Amino acid sequence: MLSKFKRSKHQQHLAQLPKLTQAAADADTLYTAADFRTTLLSAIACASNRIYLVALYLEHDDAGREILNALYQAKQQRPELDICVLVDWHRAQRGRIGAAASDTNADWYYRLAAEYPALSVPIYGVPVNTREALGVLHLKGFIVDDTVIYSGASINDVYLHQHEKYRYDRYQLLTNPTLAETFCRYIKQHLLTSAAVQPLDRAKRATNSELKNEIRQLRLNLRSANYQFQSNASNEELAVTPLVGLGKPSLLNKTIYHLMASTEQKLTLCTPYFNLPSTLVRTIVSLLREGKQVEIIVGDKSANDFYIPEDQPFKIIGALPYLYEINLRRFLSRLQRYVYSGQLIVRLWKDGDNSYHLKGVWVDEKWQLITGNNLNPRAWRLDLENAILIHDPKLELQQQRQQELAMIRTHTTLVTHYIDLQSIDKYPDKVRKLIRRLRRIRIDRLIRRIL
């Protein structure tokens, strides 16, 4: 159990973090993917100094074309604009999972760059490891002038609600010159200076084998690289702390652990993939034993972006949502008594055939973490992740916080018993057979660690 002494140690970690002052009037929360798209396009059109976009991928579809065309138009109208796009190196050079890679996002970047030879809108690929399965660029944050537009979303039709379907995420706007400069400085010092980070908008691109040594050096450097800034806020005012990390011992991981463990009344946690690191599971169990309340909001398996409807051809990747549901069912079966008492609240999100991609942590009304971190073993060990920790001791952002959580809960249902979740016996035949086969050779554990 977490004694008062240990909890004070967790709170001490949070108190000692460097912080940047944040004006409440310059912190805005968006509540829909469509608003996120229009806000991002408007910010690009109005930019006067710089535009830095960092995402897992920028897809060659209608939404991706609209964003990239907006960047070229902005550069054409204001040639002095400093524009830079960074995406994952591996993801940009393959098709979607299960699709052929005959025409990749990188190929499209090159064709568009060739159409505008006089304009510089560079798109770089960041290889966090030599193979995509062993680590990707999962940094988030779009910096437009002095505003950081932060979301777990990448750029494509579904994330930006370009057509009928959407993928639900969180969307925060923080206008803060020091925060924006901190994000840009990290990109310039630790990514753009690396020989492993290569332009993708070129006809001829380096191969993974040619960059093998450079990639390994980049990964080694990133494990010790943090955001650098001068703290200028006290623990009695609204403040933000940017965090970045790669690998289990990172400052980001440590802060997530200390944040959750410092809970005095209530912890709320969102993740699209219920596959928490064991450290966080133990923390949740300890909080429940001490009488604290824990709310977990997770996507229904059919709202998972890997879910494949039964009327479509089955692929192995389609087993993942079922593995996550198995994790959740097992977790709840251990802790059912806390569900009965009302201490443990589990909500499943589902809105038609839309998908759920929310991540985040809220603690005792005063702390919230906005992040792209999925709070799973892959994020904990393999991917380059970041986050912004918001400390709001005077509850200046309380209304926004409550409205965002109310919106998130809108399409959720309470799980009152672990048997509300399907057992393996009820899964489609192909899924059930595959999971049992994976269990026999124990490869399901490896899959949970890398996906």
So which residues are the catalytic ones? 138, 169, 357, 385
DSSP state of 422: P
Burial of 388 (0-12, 13-18, 19+ CB in 10 A): buried
d(C-alpha 112, C-alpha 215), whole Å: 27
Beta strands in 47-197 (DSSP E): 50-54, 82-88, 123-126, 141-144, 147-151, 167-168, 171-175
d(C-alpha 371, C-alpha 357), whole Å: 11
d(C-alpha 371, C-alpha 386), whole Å: 6
Q: What are phi and psi of 386, to 5 degrees?
A: -145, 175
* Strand pairing report for 344-349 and 355-356: unpaired
Q: What are the CB-based long-range contacts (under 8 Å, 24+) for 313-322?
A: 314/428, 314/430, 314/431, 315/97, 315/98, 316/434, 317/97, 317/98, 317/451, 318/431, 319/431, 319/434, 319/435, 319/438, 320/273, 320/447, 320/451, 322/424, 322/427, 322/431, 322/435
Tokens of 194: 């690396």
> Residue 261: which of 269, 272, 249, 273 has the closest Cα?
269
Which positions ≥6 away from 364 have C-beta within 8 Å?
263, 264, 265, 266
Total residues found in the chain within this entry? 451
